[in-house]
Amino acid sequence: MIRIGVVGATGYTGGELVRLLSVHPRVQITALVSRSEAGKPIATVLPHLQGLSLPTLSGYDPDALAAQCEVVFLAGETGFAMEHAPQLLTRGLKVIDLSADFRLKSPTVFAEWYGKPHRAPELLQEALYGLPELTPADAYGKARLIATPGCYPTAAGLALAPLMQAGLADPQRIIIDAKSGVSGAGRSRISVEYLFSELNENFKAYGVERHRHTPEIEQTLSQQCGQSVRVRFTPHLVPMTRGILCTAYVPLTQPIRAEHLHALYADYYARQPFVIVRPLGEYPATREVYGSNRCDIGLTVDTRTQTAVIISVIDNLVKGAAGQAIQNMNLMFGLDATTGLPVAGVLP
Amino acid sequence: MIRIGVVGATGYTGGELVRLLSVHPRVQITALVSRSEAGKPIATVLPHLQGLSLPTLSGYDPDALAAQCEVVFLAGETGFAMEHAPQLLTRGLKVIDLSADFRLKSPTVFAEWYGKPHRAPELLQEALYGLPELTPADAYGKARLIATPGCYPTAAGLALAPLMQAGLADPQRIIIDAKSGVSGAGRSRISVEYLFSELNENFKAYGVERHRHTPEIEQTLSQQCGQSVRVRFTPHLVPMTRGILCTAYVPLTQPIRAEHLHALYADYYARQPFVIVRPLGEYPATREVYGSNRCDIGLTVDTRTQTAVIISVIDNLVKGAAGQAIQNMNLMFGLDATTGLPVAGVLP
Amino acid sequence: MIRIGVVGATGYTGGELVRLLSVHPRVQITALVSRSEAGKPIATVLPHLQGLSLPTLSGYDPDALAAQCEVVFLAGETGFAMEHAPQLLTRGLKVIDLSADFRLKSPTVFAEWYGKPHRAPELLQEALYGLPELTPADAYGKARLIATPGCYPTAAGLALAPLMQAGLADPQRIIIDAKSGVSGAGRSRISVEYLFSELNENFKAYGVERHRHTPEIEQTLSQQCGQSVRVRFTPHLVPMTRGILCTAYVPLTQPIRAEHLHALYADYYARQPFVIVRPLGEYPATREVYGSNRCDIGLTVDTRTQTAVIISVIDNLVKGAAGQAIQNMNLMFGLDATTGLPVAGVLP
Amino acid sequence: MIRIGVVGATGYTGGELVRLLSVHPRVQITALVSRSEAGKPIATVLPHLQGLSLPTLSGYDPDALAAQCEVVFLAGETGFAMEHAPQLLTRGLKVIDLSADFRLKSPTVFAEWYGKPHRAPELLQEALYGLPELTPADAYGKARLIATPGCYPTAAGLALAPLMQAGLADPQRIIIDAKSGVSGAGRSRISVEYLFSELNENFKAYGVERHRHTPEIEQTLSQQCGQSVRVRFTPHLVPMTRGILCTAYVPLTQPIRAEHLHALYADYYARQPFVIVRPLGEYPATREVYGSNRCDIGLTVDTRTQTAVIISVIDNLVKGAAGQAIQNMNLMFGLDATTGLPVAGVLP
């Protein structure tokens, strides 16, 4: 059994890690860290975890973690990992970070979009960007530090990778219109705008002028096509808890029939258990991957405007966070990617 | 008092007409027509209308309507108006249609998108397309037949008109990503896919390959810019009852600063009581116009991709249907456009 | 025109007062007070109020209010009114309070349930408890200070008054199981438990051991039956924004047929425009009074257990707060109770 | 591996059985029966089951089932099991029914509440009512036919069993006020009243005068206390998909302190992995058992009215249907009750 620690266990992503890991057949949760709730059983903070045998919440202590665990998931706020990952790596731990700290390769781009200098720039090249369907499988064996992609970059990256790699997209005019459930905001974002009465029966855009996932999406797409990519990315908030749907509009550099595009996608993801390319004419809904680690994709070509329209859905807390982090752990430890991860969604 | 009849009174749009007209100071509802529920008080079908003094539901009878009313709202399914409007006009009634029957000017385009020939093509040119903020005010005086625009074309048309008219948009590459509450599907669309358990906590696209509002949007935008416009239009279904948010992406034909674009919009809508151009940096949410006849607009220019991003919101049953129809009626009868119509939204 | 001031204008109840008063034909809003947002236009805080002509938010100043208004609505937190109402009354203003401060007649009971002594006990007897359907009409003429009932006591009081007055209820064994939308918690209750992601798709009880509306309900019911009443009251939180449904279970002191009970209710409320006793076999849903000032009631007698089951619904922000306060104002100023108040609900 | 068949696989309960069984370590799904969708892959009907290896949907054929399976879950409409279970039993299959057909022991009571005679009355005594926490463990070994309890009777039975058994309840005056998510209505109940726009943001009672779960609840409670029990049961519909919360009010026959009642419950359920008696002062929310097979219980004693108040929550599709059926199967086959069943809820 792989001994696991989760830092930031009482947030939504942390709680989801615990839920998923509690039924994973190859791991044992040996440490749960919460700086604000240390000393309590986790079920007093997250009552949906009642009935499980879990370690009591403890404060953050790298030496204790090194004694208790082989791998540590960091599910805290942005900034925590770049401050603390080095000391965990030094103690021989493997680290899987779920924050944005190690996703961007360039410290300059990081500073530009996150508004502060990176505190561990020396680790940026080493950190493996773990989007398993796009990341070379052989990169996992030697990885000590994995950056789990953001939720939007996961949905957008999987939606666009085959098209980018095929060289069919105009790389400067891609539009990504994304819609997310509210849980992406996390459990510690406590302000009027996240109250139930403000968001229920309400739909809105946010981060319209600038959202931090833009450079991460561009980094992924640029790697796929070998060119510098610019995207217009607009996220929206849907009155639901979980789920992201990403509608991508790609001006085509040459005419292509929908059947060909579909075949391209089907081929690209043929061996990926967590990506389902739905039949032509069928488009996925977020509910179909609720609680699942899948990403489902539907697509068409609008011949009137020569635009490829690609629609992808994920559960932002599973494939967009905790599930993908565990998929990364599976690969890091030589397990099958699907071990312990849900394929079926929870519907209705 | 203007004597009013509503045909199709027990659908969502019909019920909303009754709700709004019941507090309109200048009208009297004299006939409520429902072919399936004739003979019943409307409140037995739509209990939210309890406590009002309203005529009993009756069957459809053009002679009776001519005796009882001056103007008739047609809130039935597509196809009803083109069959029945001629006989109402012949009897001297004014007709305000809320269906798609008289929106498109070209019978060929109608047949192409609606899959059947138009049954009253001779009225298509006469019918006034009543999007009051874009329609010449002097056209209302002589109108006998008004086509109330579709919900998406209202939101998209108001979002894009100033930009089209200014000649700043590339007319072949406009993308309209729209999101709607479920009530747009109506009360008679009874199938598995509209069940609560299917749509709640779920977000999806629909009509991706082809949606009938596409040619209507193109007709409106073409009129504004004097050129043939092609749009990629993708509607989505939001797990909420009311509201449309339209995110439009327009490739700019020349660089323009956000401040200038904002000034252009503010000027264009300066005298329109129901269109609010929100300050730069502020984007409207659907809830803010819930139950209101307003359309609020927010905008920016993405200088990284030279794209104007315009966001508009309406209540699909008010400004997108019943409210706009009443606004048309006000103008048709020489009343102030705002008479009896709600400006404030219902929030929370 | 009656000149109106609203103190606490940026809360949910305050905003609802403004929305409703903005279309009231006999009033003019002359002062909007918000201590935290003074100096701003109200629409910058509550964007659903865009497009209205309203005074700018100002700080709380009793002299200014006395100069600007005839009547002031107090929509602040519990505690504000008992501190400030006296000075407003002294300045000749009429005061309609929406908080709990003047609802209970006994300062002892107030102290017991609110955990602090009352600061204006001398006004408790004078204050008129304004539940218009139960309050003697002639009491309004001389009233200077009106206490608007709580949302639950309104729904429960209207549900049970006819039964209590008829002497059919065992006064010690009444059970009131109430369910409320989230907006009752207000806009300033900002904590984890009111986040969208916590309450969406979730149903729970709260205040199970003790809820402050218990003595207010008992006071109302005791007045109706002339005996001391004890109720078991359990409120629940429904994942929706507006609406209260109250299910009351009353052990009957003598057998009665449902038809008789229904006739009793129909008779009791025969002249009340805002209370609809639905036909036997029909039970109201919250949505049917959404945005309306109505209270709809359905009932039956369970002959297997000799229990009357009464179900009432209101919109907690309208009949349960702002609408009822305006109804009180109408009566206070000799207007028809229904003036400016919505009868129809907003549905769907 | 236990070979499993599911009849009625494309309903909500059937789909949930498939979802849960697909990760159960000791079973193999060998037959999926749907009379309306035979011949299709199940994922074309229920896309959340994409990515699983499952048999194609087939028509109902008892011989084929006997060849393919050891045990068959019947997840069809009421009436199917009493018609078809005999022939499955004859063929040596074990049967776990999820409908109401074999829950009531008395054919007379069945006929009274279901409005038709029972078609297999000879099996009613044999059928094991499988509410595992209340059913004797040794009854499972010899069972051929198990009736899985209804969702409300599960929640109510678990909420009240300890109190009934202790003889503390007045058996004629129990009130059960229950609230359910919409998925309980199933996927084939297609009518206006179950449309999203009708139920969203709406709360209502239903079945007020008479609900078929009443006699089932009374049967369970009567068995626990050895007396004839009468309950007043009122179900309500909550605008959410999953979850039942049951608020039970029990007049106490003797005074008891909350601490004693809590100890009684804690003791009663001490060895039950799926029932959590929450600490005094803590009450469960439906979301905390979403997707879980748990039933969580909170309780207090209202000393003002001498009433015990017990609140229980379940997921109606898991502990209230598919999960409990699998728990029954586990016990029927000598497995640990928890095998393959989720303990943690899905939150947020």
pTM for the model = 0.98
Residue B69 appears among annotated catalytic residues? no
The pLDDT of D254-276, averaged and rounded, is 97
The answer to whether the beta carbons of residues A346 and D48 sit under 8 Å apart is yes
- Exposure string for A94-106, b = 16+ CB within 10 A, e = fewer: bbbbbbbbbbbee
Q: Report chain D residues whose CB lies below 8 A from the CB of B191.
A: 190
Cα–Cα distance for residue pair B43/D148, rounded to 1 Å: 41
Closest residue in A to B251 (Cα) is: A173
Burial group, residue D270, by CB count within 10 angstroms (0-12, 13-18, 19+): exposed
Contacts 24+ apart (CB under 8 A), A120-129: A120/A82, A120/A83, A120/A85, A120/A86, A123/A82, A123/A85, A123/A86, A123/A89, A127/A97, A127/A102, A128/A328, A129/A102, A129/A103, A129/A105, A129/A220
Question: ipTM score of the complex?
Answer: 0.97
β-pairing verdict for D2-7 and D71-74: parallel
Q: Does A344 touch chain D (CB under 8 A)?
A: yes
- Give the HSE-up count for residue A182: Cα atoms under 13 Å, Cβ half-sphere: 31
Report how far apart, in Å, the C-alpha atoms of C66 and of each of C21, C26, C60, C92 are: 19, 19, 11, 7
pLDDT of res. B189 = 87
pLDDT at A189 over 90: no
pLDDT digits (tens, 9 = 90+) for B12-49: 999 999 999 999 999 999 999 999 999 999 999 999 99
3-state secondary structure of B189: coil
Q: Which two tokens stand for residue B33?
A: 């027509």
What structural domains does chain D harbor?
2-126 (3.40.50.720), 152-315 (3.30.360.10)
Shortest Cα distance, chain A CAs vs residue C157, angstroms: 26
Closest residue in D to C174 (Cα) is: D305
Give the pLDDT band (50/70/90) at residue C72: very high
Tell me, what DSSP letter sits at residue B320? I
Cα–Cα distance for residue pair D348/D342, rounded to 1 Å: 16
For tokens 């068409």, name the residue: A300
Q: In 3D, which of A231, A278, A248 has the Cα closest to residue A159?
A: A248
Amino acid identity, position B106: S
As a residue count, chain D comes to 348
pLDDT of res. D2 = 98
| Helix and strand counts by DSSP (H, E) for chain A | 10, 14
With residue A42 as reference, give the H or E element that holds it.
helix A42-45
- Taking all residues of chain C, what is their mean pLDDT, rounded to a whole number? 97
Q: Does C196 touch chain A (CB under 8 A)?
A: yes
3-state secondary structure of D144: coil
pLDDT of res. C265 = 98
pLDDT at C189 over 90: no
pLDDT of res. A104 = 98
Q: Report chain C residues whose CB lies below 8 A from the CB of D209.
A: 281, 300, 302
pLDDT digits (tens, 9 = 90+) for A69-108: 999 999 999 999 999 999 999 999 999 999 999 999 999 9
CB–CB contact B200 D239 (8 Å): yes
Q: Which of A151, A225, A246, A295 is catalytic?
A: A151
Q: Which two tokens stand for residue D52?
A: 């699983």
Helices marked H in chain B — which ranges?
12-21, 42-45, 62-68, 80-90, 107-114, 151-165, 196-199, 213-225, 258-268, 323-332
Cα–Cα distance for residue pair A295/A323, rounded to 1 Å: 11
The answer to whether the beta carbons of residues A84 and A73 sit under 8 Å apart is no
What percent of chain A lies above the pLDDT cut of 90? 99
pLDDT of res. B310 = 98
The pLDDT of C33-58, averaged and rounded, is 97
pLDDT digits (tens, 9 = 90+) for A270-284: 999 999 999 999 999
pLDDT of res. A49 = 98
pLDDT at A32 over 90: yes
pLDDT of res. D8 = 97
Amino acid identity, position D280: L
CB–CB contact D283 C202 (8 Å): no
Q: Which of D187, D199, D241 sits opposite B201 (nearest CB)?
A: D241
CB–CB contact B200 D241 (8 Å): yes
Shortest Cα distance, chain D CAs vs residue B195, angstroms: 4
CB–CB contact C12 B47 (8 Å): no
Closest residue in A to C46 (Cα) is: A198
Per-residue pLDDT of chain B (348 residues; tens, 9 = 90+): 999 999 999 999 999 999 999 999 999 999 999 999 999 999 999 999 999 999 999 999 999 999 999 999 999 999 999 999 999 999 999 999 999 999 999 999 999 999 999 999 999 999 999 999 999 999 999 999 999 999 999 999 999 999 999 999 999 999 999 999 999 999 988 999 999 999 999 999 999 999 999 999 999 999 999 999 999 999 999 999 999 999 999 999 999 999 999 999 999 999 999 999 999 999 999 999 999 999 999 999 999 999 999 999 999 999 999 999 999 999 999 999 999 999 999 999
The answer to whether the beta carbons of residues B70 and B116 sit under 8 Å apart is no
Q: Report chain A residues whose CB lies below 8 A from the CB of C187.
A: 192, 195, 197
Q: Does A48 touch chain D (CB under 8 A)?
A: yes
CB–CB contact D283 C236 (8 Å): no
Report how far apart, in Å, the C-alpha atoms of D97 and of each of A278, B156, B255, B346, C256 are: 34, 52, 68, 47, 41
Q: Report chain D residues whose CB lies below 8 A from the CB of C208.
A: 283, 298, 300, 309, 311
Task: State the Cα torsion B302-B306-B307-B309 to the nearest 10°.
Answer: 30
pLDDT at D53 over 90: yes
Cα–Cα distance for residue pair C5/C48, rounded to 1 Å: 19
- The helix-helix angle for A213-225 and A107-114 (nearest 10°) equals 150
- Give the HSE-up count for residue B62: Cα atoms under 13 Å, Cβ half-sphere: 15
How far, rounded to the nearest angstrom, does the alpha carbon of residue B106 sit from its chain's CA centroid? 19
For tokens 């819609």, name the residue: A179
Tell me, what DSSP letter sits at residue B17? H
